């Protein structure tokens, strides 16, 4: 099983890759490439049902969410045109004109 931090060789696609201070080197074919060429995996955000979310999707809250104070965001509240952002609250949206940051596990794609 290959280490997820190590890439596979772009030439021979084997995972016998040596990590050197400034570059990667394939132990099988000898190909070398700089470490900054390794692309980062794109972040995938999934809703409570496992559907992949994207910017602009329509979502609905799946359960009542207690917010600051006595405010409650009711289940079934919908938002269109969401934005995915970095952090533990992955969704930036507006519901009834109020901006919210929501975790993807509390919404479903509509």
Q: Compute CA distances 86 → 45, 55, 63, whole Å.
A: 10, 13, 23
92: buried, middle or exposed (CB in 10 Å: 19+, 13-18, 0-12)? Answer: middle
Angle at 66 between CA 63 and CA 72, to 5 degrees: 85
* Domains of the chain: residue spans and CATH: 1-40 (2.20.25), 59-109 (2.30.30.40)
pLDDT in tens, 50-73: 999 999 999 999 999 998 888 899
Contact between 102 and 63 under an 8 Å Cβ cutoff? The reply is: no
- Give the predicted TM-score (pTM) of the model: 0.62
Return the pLDDT at 56: 95
């Amino acid at each position: 099983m290959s280490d997820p931090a190590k890439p596979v060789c772009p030439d021979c696609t084997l995972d016998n890759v040596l990590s050197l201070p400034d570059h990667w080197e394939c132990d099988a074919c000898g190909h070398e490439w700089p470490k900054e060429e390794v692309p980062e995996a794109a972040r995938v955000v999934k809703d409570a049902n496992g559907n992949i979310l994207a910017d602009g999707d329509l979502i609905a809250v799946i359960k009542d969410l207690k917010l600051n104070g006595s405010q409650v965001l009711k289940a079934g509240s919908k938002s269109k045109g969401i934005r995915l952002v970095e952090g533990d609250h992955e969704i930036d949206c507006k519901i009834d004109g109020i901006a919210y940051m929501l975790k993807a596990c509390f919404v479903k794609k509509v």
